Structure 1
Amino acid sequence: MLKRFISAVVLAWAVGFLWFVVALPQPVDGLETDAVVVPTGGEGRIAQGLAVMDAGLAKTMLVSGVDREVKPAEFVAQFDVDEEMLECCITLGFAAVDTRGNASEIAQWVDDNEVTSIRLVTTDWHMRRAAGELSRKLPDGVKVIRDAVPSEPSFGSLFLEYHKLLASWTSGLIGL
């Protein structure tokens, strides 16, 4: 009986990992939202968020988890952002240091700014966990569009992220 249980668990894990690797979330085009939110940490995330803003698909943007050492002028220079756009429309969030912290920082910003729809921009391999953490923190009724940044992650990165996703789901189920 124990061997069957262990075999079933291993099989479920393997099928889940295969699904995770083969069916990575994809980018979304043309949908408007009130705001775009971008957790820092992966290449192309901020650039894609800025492209959404430039296309007029969102009015405001939060970049969550910005290093406390980063100055607004450095952000402007690195991402070639107009200073007026930064002042009116882009918020740099310095509170988060991990995905769970990003979710808290984003949810607070959404609530403070009375946002009803957001476009979550993060790397394809990170999207499921980021969206899951965010769904547990957001105020009721906020619509989330998942806009994944395509990447070419290593097997090790996928393996690690899959286990982080499983841990996130488990902690969500038991209410941590």
Structure 2
Amino acid sequence: MFRRFVAFIVLIWLFGFLWFAIALPGPLAADVRTDAIIVLTGSQGRIEHALKVLEAGKAPDLLVSGVDREVRPREFAVQFRVPQRLMKCCVTLGYRAYDTRSNAIEAAQWVNEHGAKSVRLVTADWHMRRAALEIGREFPNDVRLERDGVPSHPSLGALFLEYHKLLARAALNLWEAL
């Protein structure tokens, strides 16, 4: 009986991991408009994608969450070729976050300050589920979160680690709800 139970748990874990690794969240439809964009720093392509969405007029404001404290707005603008007019009006560099959990706290504070009711979350496809879970916990219930996953090519090790981080966070959320 115990062996069957353990085998059942292992199968659930295995199928969950396969689903997690194969069905990575994709990009959001190009025509979707939101009140704001939040991009989490990290792997290549995230910031570039968020800036393209901003420049296309799909949202009026952008928070770049998790910017290194050493990076100045001018350096950021030069590195990502952001026009000065766009930096002044529409781009906020967030320096308070250092991990996904603190990204969520920083993002929620920024959303409250800006009164956004719909947000496009931009992060890597492999990171999207946990990032959305963390941010969803912090956002007010009336804020709609649109997931915009940036396609990537994560290693098996990165997927394995992220899957377990997601499981741990979901378990913690469940524990806190009880």
Name the TM-score, length of structure 1 as normaliser.
Answer: 0.98
Q: Tell me the equivalent position of 1:50.
A: 51
Q: Secondary structure at the match of 1:126?
A: helix
Q: In the aligned structure 1, how far is the partner of 2:43 from the partner of 2:117?
A: 25
Shift of 1:172: 1.2
Aligned to 1:103: 104
Matched, 1:21 2:8: no
What are the Cα deviations for residues 95-138 of structure 1, in whole angstroms up to 9, with x where unaligned? 00000100010001001111100000000000000000011000
> Deviation of residue 67 (structure 1)?
0.5
C-alpha separation in 1, matches of 2:96 and 2:85:
23
Distance 1:72 1:175 in 2: 38
Q: Give the structure 2 partner of residue 5 of structure 1.
A: 5
Q: CA deviation at 1:174?
A: 1.4
What do residues 141-175 of structure 1 show as CA deviations (whole Å, max 9, x unaligned)? Answer: 10111000000111111111111111111111112
CA RMSD for the aligned pairs? 1.0
Matched letter for residue 69 of structure 2: R
1:114 alignment counterpart: 115
| Ranges in structure 1 where 5+ consecutive residues have no aligned partner | none
Q: Could you tell me how far apart the structure 2 residues matched to 1:173 and 1:37 are? A: 26
2:165 alignment partner in structure 1: 164
1:36 partnered with 2:37: yes
Deviation at 1:59, TM superposition (A): 0.3
How much does 1:54 deviate? 1.0
Which residue number in structure 2 is paired with residue 147 of structure 1? Answer: 148
Alignment match, 2:65: 64
User: 1:133 matched to which residue of 2?
Assistant: 134
Separation in structure 2 between the aligned mates of residue 175 and residue 89 of structure 1, nearest angstrom: 36
Number of equivalences: 176
TM (norm. structure 2) is: 0.97
2: CA distance, partners of 1:7 / 1:166: 18
The unaligned stretches of length 5 or more in structure 2 are: none
3-state SS of 2:59 partner: coil
